[in-house]
Structure 1
Amino acid sequence: MTKKKSFVLRLNPDDYEALERWAADDFRSINGQLEWLINKALKDAGRKSKKTPGSK
């Protein structure tokens, strides 16, 4: 399994609450929602690596 990086993210309270509601609507945790959002944005921008999981 690929090791995940962790980091601190600061959000204003209104954005956090909106993200929290969106995550709940999609039955995801906030962390899961952020991962999904980032992954989608990278794919949409054509910046997602074509590497298979676990490859270097």
Structure 2
Amino acid sequence: MSPALPVTEELRFGLGILVVGTGLLAYTAGSLAVLERIEDGDGASAASRDGAPTADD
């Protein structure tokens, strides 16, 4: 945020923590989704690794 905006230092800190926390949560959720897909065996074929649609999609 721009320092010119009338936002208190505490609110700016809180919003920064919120943004960082949300990013970490999204990264963790995405990583778990990829691990689940790999464990289910969906990542075994070359077609699913390169992003091409398969019959399961």
> By the TM > 0.5 criterion, same fold?
no
Larger helix percent: 2
Determine which structure has more spread, i.e. the larger CA radius of gyration. Answer: 2
- What interval of TM-score do these two structures reach, taking the shorter chain for normalisation? 0.3 to 0.5
